[in-house]
């Protein structure tokens, strides 16, 4: 009798626990978050590698003095098209059209002295785990939104290749086409002058036989299948409309002058790639630096930082205005990103160190509710005081603008991996 009573108690306890568990699951299902769904079709991701000083660009504070090592902004601030929002004086072109922008002023992380780690984090929204190779935001967008047209890659990098920009577990199919020469385009897709059409056709035919045989000997190998598909896609790109985008001489010389130098020409090329249907274009602004250090403005790098900012301003203002003129701005999200910011204090050489505790990311277009600054920093832009934004939050904002659910699970083999690491979008940017 005693055993019967004990068994009954165990049964009731287990049944009750199961019932509570089901109730909990039902509650969680009922509370599943919904996310805004934007209408942007493309993203131009401008990368300021090295760590752009937010206090000297998007979030100016009281004026400092590098020579006397007085903490603060290096340049005076100016008013913008957004009432009450100022930027650095060297962003005068962008300031006039800042109502097409939204400034995320409180993006933050705790990576300080590792450029590579911070670059990886801002590109993937994840910390390395040693077990998963996470995809970049460009590869995620390519995976989720795909190509807009045959013979057009979904993801292009104007800059040097690096693993942080790669597809991770998504595989080679969702990687990028890259180039460093805006006039010639991707080197691997340009036929050498000594190879005529007939010779190229013979080479493609021979390679096709080799690919077919190798795939037959390695059935079920996903890496080989992805690589083979990428090779096939490269032939389609080389022989299609895609390569015509790199003939910048078809643009009016006056417009090319408006965009400015190498960085500006990259921005103009990005607009041309959007017109041909590329989903995600990363434009790197970290070469041909006039100050010797680029955006990593330690020591003497600060002296000519203003020229970098002026070049950024010219190319960026031209890009946003050109997109708007071509009725592309509402469906193209422009992101100006960097791996971390820089502190208001100056180092012994008159430059700045690194700061991840708060920095700025600028967004433009994309159908967002622009004309606002999201978040607020303290008196020297050293820490957020209102609406701090994590890197996953920034990613979620970009994904939502592009109509992608940031909580959706992708799969690394059998393992579910959400698109963002619990990122929450800046909801005030969505209607």
Strand bridging mode 384-386 / 376-377: antiparallel
Q: Which residues pair with residue 397 across a beta bridge?
A: none
- What's the mean pLDDT in 96-104? 98
pLDDT of residue 27: 43
Give the confidence band of 240 by pLDDT, cuts at 50, 70, 90: low
pLDDT at 15 over 80: no
pLDDT at 238 over 90: no
34 or 236: which leads in pLDDT: 34
Tell me which fold the domain 39-186+246-429 belongs to.
Alkaline Phosphatase, subunit A (3.40.720)
pLDDT of residue 106: 98
391 or 149: which leads in pLDDT: 391
Token pair, residue 406, equals 């940031």
Task: Kindly report, residue by residue over 314-364, the tens digit of the pLDDT.
Answer: 999 999 999 999 999 999 999 999 999 999 999 988 999 999 999 999 999
Give the confidence band of 288 by pLDDT, cuts at 50, 70, 90: low
pLDDT of residue 76: 98
Q: Say how many residues make up the chain.
A: 431
Q: How far apart (Å, rounded) are the C-alpha atoms in residues 15 and 19?
A: 6
Task: Kindly report, residue by residue over 264-286, the tens digit of the pLDDT.
Answer: 999 999 999 999 999 999 999 98
232 or 215: which leads in pLDDT: 215
Nearest to 262 by CA among 181, 195, 318: 181
- What's the mean pLDDT in 247-251? 94
Token pair, residue 11, equals 């049964």
Q: Which of 52-66, 99-113, 283-297 has the lowest mean pLDDT?
A: 283-297
CA dist 385 → 84, 289, 378, 381 (Å): 17, 34, 6, 9
- What's the mean pLDDT in 281-310? 89
Token pair, residue 43, equals 């993203």
pLDDT of residue 8: 56
Average model confidence (pLDDT) across the chain: 88
pLDDT of residue 250: 94
Nearest to 94 by CA among 366, 372, 316: 316
- Is residue 182 within 8 A of residue 158, CB to CB? The reply is yes
pLDDT of residue 22: 46
pLDDT at 128 over 50: yes
Nearest to 367 by CA among 429, 299, 283: 429
pLDDT of residue 300: 87
């Amino acid at each position: 009798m005693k055993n019967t009573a004990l068994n009954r108690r165990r049964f009731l306890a287990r049944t009750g626990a199961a019932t509570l568990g089901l109730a909990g699951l039902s509650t969680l299902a009922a509370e599943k978050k919904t996310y805004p769904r934007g209408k942007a079709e493309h993203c131009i991701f401008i990368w300021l590698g090295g760590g752009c000083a937010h206090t000297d660009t998007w979030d100016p504070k009281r004026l400092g003095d590098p020579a006397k090592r007085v903490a603060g902004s290096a340049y005076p601030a100016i008013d913008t098209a957004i009432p009450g929002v100022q930027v650095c004086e060297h962003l005068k072109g962008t300031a006039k059209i800042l109502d097409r922008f939204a400034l995320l002023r409180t993006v933050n992380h705790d990576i300080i002295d590792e450029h590579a780690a911070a670059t990886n984090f801002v590109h993937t929204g994840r910390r390395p785990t040693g077990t998963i190779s996470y995809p970049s935001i460009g590869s995620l967008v390519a995976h989720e939104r795909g190509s807009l047209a045959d013979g057009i890659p979904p993801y292009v990098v104007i800059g040097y290749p690096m693993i942080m920009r790669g597809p991770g577990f998504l595989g080679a199919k969702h990687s990028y086409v890259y180039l460093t020469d805006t006039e010639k385009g991707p080197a691997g897709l340009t036929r050498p002058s000594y190879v005529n059409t007939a010779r190229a056709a013979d080479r493609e035919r021979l390679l096709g036989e080799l690919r077919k045989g190798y795939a037959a000997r390695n059935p079920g190998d996903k890496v080989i299948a992805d690589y083979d598909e990428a090779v096939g896609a490269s032939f389609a790109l080389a022989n299609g409309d895609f390569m015509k985008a790199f003939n910048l001489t078809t643009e009016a010389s006056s417009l090319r002058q408006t965009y400015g130098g190498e960085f500006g020409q990259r921005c103009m090329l990005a607009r041309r790639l959007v017109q041909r249907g590329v989903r995600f274009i990363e434009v790197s602004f970290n070469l041909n630096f006039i100050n010797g250090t680029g955006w990593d403005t330690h020591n003497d790098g600060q002296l000519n930082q203003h020229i970098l900012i002026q070049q950024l301003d010219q190319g960026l203002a031209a890009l946003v205005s050109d997109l708007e003129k071509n009725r592309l701005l509402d469906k193209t999200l422009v992101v100006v990103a960097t791996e971390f910011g820089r502190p208001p204090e100056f180092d012994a050489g008159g430059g700045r160190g690194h700061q991840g505790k708060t920095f700025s990311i600028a967004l433009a277009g994309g159908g967002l509710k622009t004309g606002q600054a999201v978040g607020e920093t303290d008196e020297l832009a050293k820490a957020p005081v209102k609406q701090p934004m994590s890197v996953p939050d920034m990613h979620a904002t970009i994904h939502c603008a592009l109509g992608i659910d940031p909580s959706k699970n992708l799969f690394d083999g059998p393992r579910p991996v959400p698109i963002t690491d619990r990122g929450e979008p800046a909801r005030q940017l969505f209607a």
